[in-house]
Amino acid sequence: MNVTSKGRYALRVMLDLAQHPEEGTISLKTIAERQEISMKYLEMIVAGLKKAELLESTRGKEGGYRLCRAPEDYTVGEILRSLEDNLAPVSCLRADGVRCDKAAACATLPMWKELDEITNAYLDAVTLQDLLTGEKWREEKV
């Protein structure tokens, strides 16, 4: 699995919006400045997030972007899959199935499929809220 800058930046955009709900709609310029992402690249990222119905936009002077749902209702998996072509550990696995002429004889394919399932299950178990609080990864205090 290789998460590209598009996927990483999409998470940063979504986190930025989740961290500032009191601001209502947030301009692309504000997000770009806070996250140090170029406006041009950010436009492409938010277009993909909007197409996937993960955020809403408002036009005009007071326009900008905001989350459609509460942070706990977004998973990292759905955010990454909205922009990434493939999150599978090997190129022959795709969301729409296996793309390999040797799949029928491949002894490693079941292992790769299982790793893909484990990875996706993990990413779908982590929410935007988990990233905001970080509590999921804090060591228990004794």
Rounded CA separation 108/110 (Å): 6
* Residue 56 confidence (pLDDT): 94
The reported pLDDT for the residue numbered 6 is 94
How confident is the model at residue 141, as a pLDDT?
Answer: 55
pLDDT at res. 98: 85
> Is domain 1-142 in CATH 1.10.8.80, yes or no?
no
DSSP string, 53-114: TSEEEE-STT-EEEESS-GGG-BHHHHHHHH-S--SSSTTEETTEE--TTGGG-SSHHHHHH
| pLDDT string in tens for the chain (142-residue length) | 789 999 999 999 999 999 999 998 999 999 999 999 999 999 999 999 999 999 999 998 888 999 999 999 999 999 999 999 888 888 888 777 788 888 888 999 999 999 999 999 999 999 999 999 998 888 655 5
Distance, in Å, from the CA atom of 19 to the CA atom of 26, rounded to the nearest integer, reads 11
